[in-house]
Amino acid sequence: MTGVDVHMLATTRATRPEAIAEAAARRRRRPLLGNEGRLLIVAADHPARGALRVRDRELAMADRRELLERLLTALGRPGVDGVLGTADVLEDLLLLGELDYKIVIGSMNRGGIPGSAFEIDDRFTGYDAASIAAAGFDGGKMLLRIDPTDPATASTLQACSQAVSELAERRLMAMIEPFWVRRESAGTRNDLEPANMIRAVAVGQGLGHTSAYTWLKLPPTRDMEQVVAASTLPTLVLGGDPTGRWEETYALWRKALRLPTVRGLVVGRALLYPDDGDVAAAVDAAVALLD
C-alpha cells in the first residue's frame, strides 16, 4: 500500500492549518456521474462514531496511518469515483493531494454513538451544508434511524429534513441512509425486514422542501426489489461490516445493481479491510460488478 507521511500531516496541521482550505480550493472537480452513469464511493466515516471494529478485530480502523494507506490504495484503483468521510479524514486526503477528480461526500450527523443512551438523538456533529459547499465538495450524507419508541427520533428527523433542504438550495447531493430500528437488550438494531425498510425509505425520501437532490443509501436485503420499488430516487447500495462469505456479499451487490434505480455502491470496511488484506483486489472485484 502507498506510504503516508504522518509527520508531514501533523506538522502542516500544527503550523499551517490554512493549508487545508488552500488544498480544497485547488482541488480539480468532476461531474457527479461519469459516462457510465454509475458510482463507486469508498466510505471512511466509521471512526467518527467510535465504530472501529471489522469482523473480530475490535480496533481494526484505529490506526490512522493504516486507514489512510488503505484509502489511498482504494482511491487509486480504476473505477473508484470518490470517498465519503468526516472532516478529519477528508482533510488528510486533501493535504495528501488525493482528491482531484474525485467525488467527495461529507458525513454530517455523527453524534449517535452506538450503545450510548443518546444513540437515536443523532446530532449533526460533522459537516453542515454550508461547510460542504465552502470546501467545494459534492454532497452530504446523513444517517436516519427511526425508533418509534424513542422521542429523540423526532429531532433527528427534523435535523435531517433541514440538511436535505440546505443541500438542495446549494444543488448538492443529499445522501440519506434510512433505517427502522428496534431496541434490544444490547442496544439498537437495524430492522432489515422488507416492510420496515420500505417504511424507512418512505419517510426518508419525503424529507425537505424538495427531493430533487436526494439520493438513498440502502443495504442489500432480502426482497431488495420490493424495497427499491418504494422510491424513484437514485439509490446507492451500502456494504456494511463484512461478515459471511465474499461470494455471498458480491452476489447480493450484483443482484441489487440490476435494479433500475440503483446507481452504484458505497462500501467501506468490506473493501478497505478484506480478509486477505488485498485492498486493490477487493476494490477491483467491486468495480467489475458495475459493468
Find the distance separating the first CA and the last CA of the chain, reported in whole Å.
26
> 3-state DSSP call for residue 186?
coil
Query: pLDDT value at position 184?
Result: 77
User: 29 lies in a domain?
Assistant: no
Q: Is the pLDDT of residue 1 over 60?
A: no
| Residue 6: inside a domain | no
Residues in the chain: 291
What digits encode the pLDDT tens for the residues 11-57? 999 999 999 999 999 999 999 998 789 999 999 999 998 888 888 78
C-alpha torsion 253→259→264→267, nearest 10: -30
Single pTM value for the model = 0.95
- Given this model, what pLDDT does residue 68 score? 97
4 lies in some domain: no
Residue 96 lies in a domain: yes
- Helix/strand/coil (H, E, C) string of 56-89? CECCCCCCHHHHHHHHHHHHCCCCCCEEEECHHH
The span from the CA of 274 to the CA of 50, in Å, is: 20
Closest Cα to residue 194, out of 217, 240, 225? 225
pLDDT above 90 as % of the chain? 79
Residue 173, domain member (yes or no): yes
DSSP at 54:
B
241 in a structural domain? yes
Q: Give the burial class of 129: count Cβ atoms within 10 A of its Cβ; 0-12 exposed, 13-18 middle, 19 or more buried.
A: buried
pLDDT digits (tens, 9 = 90+) for 159-207: 999 999 999 999 999 999 999 998 876 678 899 999 999 999 999 999 9
Instruction: Report how many domains make up the chain.
Output: 1
State pLDDT tens for residues 213-244.
999 999 998 789 999 999 999 999 998 666 66
Tell me the mean pLDDT in the region 250-268: 93
Contact 237, 228 (CB under 8 A): no
The verdict on residue 175 lying in a domain is: yes
Averaged confidence pLDDT in the chain: 93
C-alpha distances out from residue 90 to 11, 103, 156, Å: 17, 11, 24
Q: What is the span of the domain harbouring residue 183?
A: 42-289
Judge contact between 140 and 127, C-beta under 8 A: yes
| Cβ 210 vs Cβ 167: under 8 Å | no
Cα dihedral 4, 127, 273, 239 in deg (nearest 10): -150
Residue 22 within any structural domain of the chain:
no
CATH assignment of the domain containing 180: 3.20.20.70
C-alpha cell at 190: 437495524
